[in-house]
A and B are shown apart, each in its own frame.
Chain A
Amino acid sequence: MSTTSRTEERVHEDRLARERLVRSDGDRRPTPKRSTPLVHKLGGILPTIVLLIAVVYFLLPMVWVLFAATKSTGELFSTSAFSFGSSLVDNMVALFEYENGSFSRWLGNSFIYSIGGALLSTAVSAAAGYALALYQFPGKKAVMVGLLAGVLLPTITLAIPQYMLFAQLNITNTYWAVLIPISITPFGIYLSYVFARGSVPQELLEAARVDGSNEGRTFVSIGLPLLFPGLVTVFLLQFIGAWNNFLLPYIMQSKSELSPITVAMFLMLNRGGSEPVLYSVAIAGALVAVIPVVIFVLVLQRFGRLDLISGSLK
């Protein structure tokens, strides 16, 4: 056993050395097929230009909203798009005084739905993903097929059937009407399952069992810490998804005091059709509504394990 592994090791070392040789060789020797310096340079510039055009397109609405939020409705229609107006403070005051100061309430509601929904769905996903990845139990295959096939469900379309059931049970017009549906996401379970399979070794569970730790304690003190990076990703994805949700709260809540920011902004713009003064308020609202998620997106890009989704988890 030890001799074979030693020879294997030697073979591996040999290969490494050979590779090093080839690589340094290749660096020194100018290959005949190598492109000319001009093409070489263009190879870096042209893609950068294409990317910058894309960047301008993606940033345009955000940059525009920064300028537009400083303008009164009159200035909006009369001044150049990228110039500052004089009404930033007025717009913000009008925004937070709109409908007796409801805007801060809508912001708060968005946080309740996003944080509450993301916490619930991350917890549900973590538990289910861990169980599916690390336990063998009768009926596992059926559960797996059922839950994972749920990834294909058109969840937005199902909001209307959900409304009909919830209306029957008298839970529409409560926070739960939105929190319950978003607390179960087959995709979150799938991500947790993939992550658990890759990051919690089965042997660890067995070792803990031998040491007399019960299953619950093993899950909390060994499983969860190892799952943490994956769960952060699931949480951030769910937070952003819940913050951006529109149809579900739109149909579940008929009282505006339960509306999140997305629904409130829709109703505000809808009224703007007859009261154009509201346009500048709506633009200020758009700016404020975007700030929290933009921060979350930056955090997600920095700390999220997006390789989970691309299926390239090692």
Chain B
Amino acid sequence: MTTPTIEKSRARGGASAGTGGDRKGNDMTTAPSTKRVSLTRPHHLFAWVLIAPAIVLFVFVFIIPIIYSGGLSLMGTAAGSSAYGVREEVFVGLGNYAKVLQDPTFWTSLGNLVVYAAFLVPIMMLTSMLLALLLDLPRIGLRAFNRMAIFLPYGVPSVIAALMWGFLYVPEISPIYQLGEAFGLQFPTLLRGDLVMTAIINVVLWGGIGFNTIILYTSLQSLPKEQIDAARIDGCNEPRIAWYIKLPHIVPATILTGLFSVIGALQVYSEPQMLSSLTPAISSTYFPLMRVYRDAFAHDDLNSASAASIILALATVLLSLLVLGGQRLAARRNA
């Protein structure tokens, strides 16, 4: 009964002896030789035990569903040969893919997605960089409060953000329109026609800028203070410090957060889905993922929904790899 406690206290001693290398050395020399063998003994088994849950779940949650719906995407239903005309599963090859690619609503939704991402990601990243650099300036008033206020929307579920903004887009309710009226301005109604894209982009920007800003701001915090002080002593002003020292420093973090923004943008779903219950301007096939949902659940066509999800997933992964590859290339050229 006493041995475990002794061992435990020793293990603790080891843990706290990060700096006391001497004591560790002593332990090593006095330890019986059998224990020294354990140093070279491989610990593969334990590593596999630790990693097994992740691998099992990864296979079950990602690999098998991809393979399964890959299989589904190659199947289709046809009137059976039996007398009652029962529909049965038949192999149709790439037929579902052809069907998806020939459907004009697929291309419309993809076009919407491209416009959405092309506006969303650059605006999101540039705003986040600007806000992070501003937050990092010396002599900023209310720094902690500003940081908190900017980060707060990250915690708001996208569905709730869309609900709140949805009401803020209604002129009779919205303080923005009321304020405009007070100054004799009439803002356009965003929930109508093509402007609805602006409405969606605004909701996502509102929810996403805060997280990216805080990540970039955190990255700025790791910049050595001496470097900035030295630049200041040399007479470098704050905008120049931001441009020549801080900006290059946050490039890696910007690429990482930008990559996540791209992946997120291509999967946009909850915001438009929520807003669509307030406006007819967002159709049930407005974005690709909404179209996939309609195929799978409203049309009960799992085969073509599978084909469309696989096209969308492949496109996302390819685009991410392109972004990463481009970044590698740029890094190598700089080096």
Contacts and interface: CB of A to CB of B under 8 A. Distances in A.
Interface of A: 19, 22-23, 26, 31-35, 43-44, 47-48, 50-52, 54-55, 57-62, 64-65, 68, 76-77, 80-82, 123-125, 127-128, 130-132, 135, 137-138, 140, 143, 146-147, 150, 152-158, 160-165, 168, 180-181, 183-184, 186, 189, 201, 203-204, 206-213, 215-219, 221-222, 225-226, 240, 243-244, 246-247, 251, 261-263, 265-266, 269-270, 272-273, 279, 282-283, 286, 289-290, 293-294, 296-298, 301, 306-307, 309-312, 314
Given A137-B48, A154-B312, A307-B221, A44 B140 contact: yes
A179 B305 CA distance: 23
B65 A158 contact: yes
B215 A309 contact: yes
B304 to A, nearest CB: 12
B321 interface: yes
B216 A310 contact: yes
A268 B253 CA distance: 39
Nearest to A206: B39
Interface of B: 7-8, 10-12, 14-15, 17-18, 24, 27-28, 31, 35-36, 38-39, 42-44, 46-48, 50-51, 53-55, 57-58, 60-62, 64-66, 68-69, 72, 130-131, 134-135, 137-142, 145-161, 163-168, 172-176, 178, 206, 209-210, 214-216, 218-219, 221-222, 226, 229, 233-235, 237-238, 250, 252-253, 256-257, 259, 263, 266-267, 269-270, 273-274, 277-278, 289, 292-293, 296-297, 302, 305-306, 309-310, 312-313, 316-317, 320-321, 324
A51 B145 CA distance: 10
Contact of B68 (A52, A165, A225, A293): A165
A17 B219 CA distance: 29
Given A44-B140, A154-B312, A251-B293, A81 B252 contact: no
Contacts of B292: 157, 160
Given A201-B18, A211-B11, A212-B35, A293 B155 contact: yes
B62 A150 contact: yes
Given A62-B152, A165-B68, 13 more contacts: A55-B145, A189-B54, A222-B14, A225-B15, A246-B158, A251-B293, A266-B274, A269-B277, A273-B278, A297-B154, A301-B147, A301-B214, A310-B216
B65 A297 contact: no
B173 A158 contact: no
A183 B55 CA distance: 12
A312 B253 contact: yes
Contacts of B222: 307, 310, 312, 314
A306 B267 contact: no
A9 to B, nearest CB: 17
Given A157-B289, A160-B296, A290 B156 contact: yes
A31 B233 contact: yes
